[in-house]
Amino acid sequence: GAGVSQSPRYKVAKRGQDVALRCDPISGHVSLFWYQQALGQGPEFLTYFQNEAQLDKSGLPSDRFFAERPEGSVSTLKIQRTQQEDSAVYLCATRVRGAGETQYFGPGTRLLVL
Amino acid sequence: GNSVTQMEGPVTLSEEAFLTINCTYTATGYPSLFWYVQYPGEGLQLLLKATKADDKGSNKGFEATYRKETTSFHLEKGSVQVSDSAVYFCALTPYGNKLVFGAGTILRVKS
């Protein structure tokens, strides 16, 4: 596709439900990042993949959060037993490969936990 | 640690006014610096970047210069347009991977 796509765009969950957020990267982009953006704040790093390898997960806020990218393309961010504080926009970004290259962001998934 | 501080908004300007959005940073090593923009209803887009001290990034009439001595990367534009209304984020990448963002500055331009 032309850009990074994310689905769903909006998700409403009841507290305690599990959710799965999907990111489709730009074709050929090796690196993939997940960020969390709370209302009125800048995005905060969650985790980073190079191909299928998760190289950095230092930003995941708790063990309820995990991410996978099994074939080095599509990635899924899963949140188990959602809490109200998980309400945020979840952004996916991808880049071709190297450290000096631009990250391209998707439109985000807005998660609201009631 | 690594952090970015931006001036608080919203910043409200009339069309054709001069724009400055201040950004200062704290980082280990020699980070690359970025400005990203988020237009209403759209995703984050890279506006400009600079990878080393004294570099100037520029795009669409916006400029920012990497000042190591003052740890700053202020965004400027000589004449803003209504279409520049957006949220602007200053960011750094300390080791070339994850981005560290400021809180964002809302810019509103009136006609």
Q: What is the pLDDT of residue A99?
A: 64
Q: What is the pLDDT of residue A106?
A: 95
Residue B30, min C-alpha distance to chain A (Å): 13
Residues contacting residue B11 through CB under 8 Å, at least 6 positions apart: B19, B21, B105, B106, B107, B108
| DSSP letter (8 states) at residue A25 | P
Q: Is the pLDDT of residue A72 over 80?
A: yes
Q: What is the pLDDT of residue B29?
A: 82
Contacts of B32 in chain A (CB under 8 A): 100
Cα dihedral sign for A14, A84, A69, A63? Answer: negative
Q: Does B7 contact A at CB distance below 8 Å?
A: no
Q: Is the pLDDT of residue A34 over 80?
A: yes
Q: Is the pLDDT of residue A1 over 80?
A: no
Identify each DSSP E strand in chain B by its residue range.
Answer: 3-6, 11-14, 19-21, 23-26, 32-38, 44-50, 56-59, 62-65, 75-77, 86-93, 100-101, 105-110
Segment-wise mean pLDDT, segments of 10 residues, chain B, 111 residues: 92 97 92 94 92 95 96 97 97 88 97 94
Among chain B residues, CA nearest to A90: B43
What span, in angstroms and rounded, lies between the C-alpha atoms of B103 and A5? 24
Do residue A48 and residue B100 have CB atoms under 8 angstroms apart?
no
Residue A18, min C-alpha distance to chain B (Å): 25
Residue from the list A33, A41, A108 with its beta carbon closest to the beta carbon of B98: A33
Q: What is the pLDDT of residue A101?
A: 77
What span, in angstroms and rounded, lies between the C-alpha atoms of B111 and B72? 30
Q: What is the pLDDT of residue A103?
A: 92
Q: Is the pLDDT of residue A98 over 80?
A: no
Do residue A107 and residue B43 have CB atoms under 8 angstroms apart?
yes
Residue from the list A41, A98, A102 with its beta carbon closest to the beta carbon of B103: A41
